[in-house]
Amino acid sequence: MTAVSRRNWAGNITWHAERFAAPESVAELQALVAGAERVKAVGSGHSFSDIADTAGLLVSTAALPRDVERLGPHRVRVAAGVRYGELALELDRYGLASANLASLPHISVAGTVATGTHGSGVGNRSLATHVAALDLVTSTGELVTLRRGEDDFAGAVVGLGALGVVTAVELDVVPAFEVAVSVHEWLPFDVLLEHYEAVLAAAYSVSVFLDWSRPLRGQVWLKHRVDDGAPGVVDEPWFAAAEAGPRNPVPGISAENAVQQGGVPGPSFQRLPHFRLEMVPSNGEELQSEYFVAAADGPAALAALAPLADLIHPVLQVCELRRIAADDLWLSPSGGRDSAAFHFTWVPDLAAVLPVLERIEAALAPFDARPHWGKVFPMTADRLVEVYPRVPEFLSLAGRLDPRGAFANAWTGRHLGR
């Protein structure tokens, strides 16, 4: 029998659930959900808040049959609890790949999709946009399938676990491709501000890391697609950042756990995450937050954070800048607008981090910054409904799919008013 962890990966949340279950069939899951007053699904537990918590029954989908089935040339059906790293290995056997990946390959497919998790790239949308259909067990225990193009689909994909338990998704995939990673340092902050979009568009996937120490400067990770004919270098006079030796995204940590760099081509799934699948990236001693603004506001929003550098730096492990293409999913952080994202990996001290987050939210308020659902943020329902304007439609969908409020929890109360 699969044991369900009593806490999240970071260890900052211990679940309040009265009961835990890891059903081995969808039928067993349906009966459990129908019989529970309060219930919630947990994926791989890589979120940093009580978003996956419940006062009732916490169900893991990890013990459901972990199938990856090929449905067509570029379509697969994947069980909810499969992790992206496992999926990548299966896809590779078919000569296929996910068009993009998040920084960590260990996260579950359903949890990733439910929170609008993303990688980077001006042409890359959130991983949730790869979903073509999803199977959902609703609070009556009924199994419903929602397909792209149908009413409710765009509302249900980034579902925050608030609509039901996803048992499987159909995903769009692409032919396998190779990527080469090169790391460059240092790009002065004023150069970054002036050429923000050019830097973030300089490769298929780009991340810029800063630790907000002075002098402010960025470390640029360029992830080039080997097959797209791009030169693989930034040939601009302002890009003086020299290629560095192997680096971990977190300053001072060994590069051993990080993906291969130095421009050596390799399968996309071994290059697009920052961390190697076969390694544990860290022991979870961190908290994370992330905010999304319109891409056009990226440089101004970054400049608005600069006066906070001396507040941010002491509680920060590393900050990462990324770009994500717009999508049409109601609660996607990049919904309706090409987005610039500002990610923060913090020291594991919520009391020290929260006041800094309040200042960051205030500095980014003029840009209607949206928090990442799976990370730590103080923003409450009254403001969230302004930055995520489709929250009312989502709440109405939740009311229809879960009229008895079985999937509501303290987190949905604070952040959605449900």
**Positions that interact with ligand FAD (CB under 6 A):** 9, 40-47, 51-52, 61, 80, 102-104, 107-108, 110-112, 114-115, 117-118, 160-161, 165-166, 281, 288, 372, 374
Question: At its nearest, how many Å lie between ligand FAD and the CB of residue 141?
Answer: 14
Buried b (16+ CB within 10 A) or exposed e, 408-418: bbebbebbbeb
Of the candidates 105, 81, 111, which has an alpha carbon nearest to the alpha carbon of residue 281? 105
Residue 282 phi, psi dihedral angles, 5° rounding: -165, 175
Question: At its nearest, how many Å lie between ligand FAD and the CB of residue 367?
Answer: 19
**Are the CB atoms for 54 and 4 separated by under 8 Å?**
no
Shorter beta-carbon distance to ligand FAD: residue 117 or 270? 117
Question: At its nearest, how many Å lie between ligand FAD and the CB of residue 30?
Answer: 13
- Write out the two tokens for 249: 């995204």
Question: At its nearest, how many Å lie between ligand FAD and the CB of residue 206?
Answer: 13
Shorter beta-carbon distance to ligand FAD: residue 43 or 265? 43
Place of tokens 């959902």: 136
Shorter beta-carbon distance to ligand FAD: residue 265 or 281? 281
Q: What CA–CA distance (Å, rounded) separates 181 from 200?
A: 14
In the bound complex, which residue of the shown chain has the CB atom lying closest to ligand FAD? 111
Q: Pinpoint the alpha helices (H) of 226-320.
A: 298-305, 309-312
Shorter beta-carbon distance to ligand FAD: residue 239 or 377? 377
Question: At its nearest, how many Å lie between ligand FAD and the CB of residue 300?
Answer: 22
Question: At its nearest, how many Å lie between ligand FAD and the CB of residue 245?
Answer: 23
Question: At its nearest, how many Å lie between ligand FAD and the CB of residue 95?
Answer: 25
Shorter beta-carbon distance to ligand FAD: residue 111 or 155? 111
Shorter beta-carbon distance to ligand FAD: residue 40 or 224? 40
Task: Give how far the C-alpha of residue 50 lies from the chain's centroid of Cα atoms, to the nearest Å.
Answer: 16
**Are the CB atoms for 137 and 131 separated by under 8 Å?**
no
Question: At its nearest, how many Å lie between ligand FAD and the CB of residue 88?
Answer: 14
Q: What CA–CA distance (Å, rounded) separates 159 from 155?
A: 7
Shorter beta-carbon distance to ligand FAD: residue 239 or 298? 298
Beta bridge partners of 232: none
Q: What CA–CA distance (Å, rounded) separates 349 from 410?
A: 21
Shorter beta-carbon distance to ligand FAD: residue 191 or 397? 397
What does the DSSP assignment read for 354-400?
HHHHHHHHHHHGGGT-EE-TTS-----HHHHHHHSTTHHHHHHHHHH
Angstrom CA distances, 125 to 189, 220, 253, 309, 325, stand at: 26, 20, 30, 29, 5
